[in-house]
Structure 1
């Protein structure tokens, strides 16, 4: 499915009841997507696409955000010209209690290992 917008609204988010564990786990299998989720979780609020620290091209980044959105992990919306990102924490916690916290903790540890001198 391709991203579609109607005015300022992004319309290809799954409904909460359509979010599957399989889809969420497949989306979070990629380290770039785990990094995106980690950065949103650590932000003081919603985070604009252009503010993420990811080492991929813009096109590849767009793909990663789309996978996270279409799996139900994040919600995206426009604020002016910025595409904003937020975790669908309440919906994910209801469907899969503790999963998001465990993923963020694991991603934090993964990032710390990568940053440690070898």
Structure 2
């Protein structure tokens, strides 16, 4: 499905299926377990990635990079990092939801960040 951006260009937008969403959730848990060398059972939806299991902000970017490639998302990692910081992600569920948004919105994220910066500068 394509949506037209403000500049008239087409931007890719997609809707993840329930199966894709479950795959992403499972992959996020697996990734965290491997990277942090902990048991998969320790990682639940409400697990705080930094406080509960010792992760750091770089993990978020590594995680997103994995899914960027898998789902062919064409947004710079720097932009995704800004987006995730703006979202104040702390739990596994919040990280997974942010990944859904990055995949589904694609370059619309850039527009949202720019609009947010303009609103801050205008106030």
Same fold (TM over 0.5): no
| Larger-Rg structure | 2
If each structure's strand is expressed as a fraction of its own residues, which one has the higher value? 1
Greater helix fraction, Structure 1 or Structure 2: 2
TM-score by length of 1: 0.30
